[in-house]
Each structure stands twice: as structure tokens, then as C-alpha cells.
Amino acid sequence: MFGLKMHTVCRVTSWQDAADTLNRATRLKQRSDGSYPLPGKERNKDISVRMVNDGIAFRYHHTDVVTWRPDGSYTYEPWSSRSTCTFFNQLCPIGHDLTRAAEVLIIGDKGYAIYGGSPVHVRDCKPVSGLGVFQRQVIDRKRAKEVLAGTRYAEYREWYKVMMPMLMPRSGEYLSPNDAVLYLRDETKWPALATERWDDFTPDKMRGVIYFLNSESCYKTETYDVLPANKAQRSEYRVMRRA
């Protein structure tokens, strides 16, 4: 599998490590942009280290991805890619991990959302600027119940429990979600609904279809500034811009 490999580069976990790395790099030939090849990656023209006004920057392609400062803080310049994660994770403190294609920064047992565009400044193991938020869609139980009450879902569910064992599987019909809702209104079509050609419309599936077609009423958005590390890595939590 192709991808950036950083195992030949000494781990940088502090300002002192960054200074030591730059010191070794200055023994190599300086590049036209004022940077030096990163020791361990001398032949890679896309990776370098350089001194900037307020610190030491580790550069990937044309971006100063990680910039260490004398006070022990660092800044991450967001760029969404897996290789950026690999680059960053070799040049940050132990326990700091960039994941989900550079959308999430894990520090200890907490996960922070990185919404591209704004530099993320980390001081004392805590981001102090440049963060996004996590959002996920969840069912609004009260409103979803009201939507279901306006259909014949409850009747269909009870009918299904009794009749389904006696029905021949697969009616041969194909039903779209909209068709399924129309069939739900007419109990004479419930056998066809329950034995739909590709995927039987069980009560659970039928409920999901109703929620989907009434998503504005049945779902609500939850927003989180910080998540536990294990939850932050789940795709159900989208990374969004902070309002």
C-alpha cells in the first residue's frame, strides 16, 4: 500500500526536539524557500523544516503543517488527507493523534473537531483556537411518534406479527420508499408490502422509511464541542464549522 512513511524521522514531541531537528537539518543543503531537508527524509522534496518568525515549522508540500514555539505550544495548519495525519503524528506530543483524514485531533481521552481553514493552536495539551464542532442526526422521539401516529404503521406492525409466517416470500414487485408508504395506507396491499421482491418491508424497515421521508420532522441535530476519543472517531459524528 502506497502512502507517506515517517518511520525514518526522529519523533518530535517538544520545542527542544524541534530545535535539535532543525540544528541537524542546517548541515544539509538549504532549499530555495529557505527550508532544509528533514533528516530521515532528505530525498523527499515535499518534506522540510525551517525557522519562521515565531518558531520552527515542519513543512509538507507547501504548508507549514506543524509549527513549534519556544513556550512549548504548537500550531497545526489543517489539510485534509491521510498523509497529513501520518506527517503530523510523527511531529507532535505523545498522546496527540490526528485521525479521520485530519478532521479529528485526539488528545488523551478527548477528541476535537478540526474544520479546515483555521489554524489550530495547542497549548498545555489543549486546543485554544481554530476548532470546529461535531454534529450528528438523532431521532426526535416525540415528533417521530407523532409522525408515525399519522400513518397506519401501528396496525401494520400488529398485522405483520400474525400474518407474515403464513405469507409466501417475495411477491415479485419492487417498491420504492414512496410506493411503500402508499401501500401502507391500503391494507389489501400489505401482503405485497411484506413480501417485496428485494427486501421485505418489515415493521422496523417501514418505520425507517417513514422517518426518512419525513426527516425534517423526525430528526434533530445534536452539537458537541468535545467528544470522548472513541466517539470522536465515529463517522456518525460529522465535523462542521463552528457557528
Run of H or E residues at 62: none
For residue range 104-139, what is the model confidence (pLDDT) as tens digits? 999 999 999 999 778 999 999 999 999 999 999 999
At 177-211, the pLDDT tens digits run 999 999 999 999 998 898 887 777 899 999 999 99
Residues 55, 119 contacting (CB under 8 angstroms):
no
* Mean pLDDT score of the chain: 92
- Beta-strand runs (E) in 14-163: 36-37, 47-52, 55-60, 63-68, 74-76, 96-99, 104-107, 110-113, 120-123, 126-129, 133-139
Sheet holding 120-123, edge to edge: 36-37, 47-52, 55-60, 63-68, 74-76, 120-123, 126-129
How many residues comprise the chain?
243
Average pLDDT of the segment spanning 224-234: 96
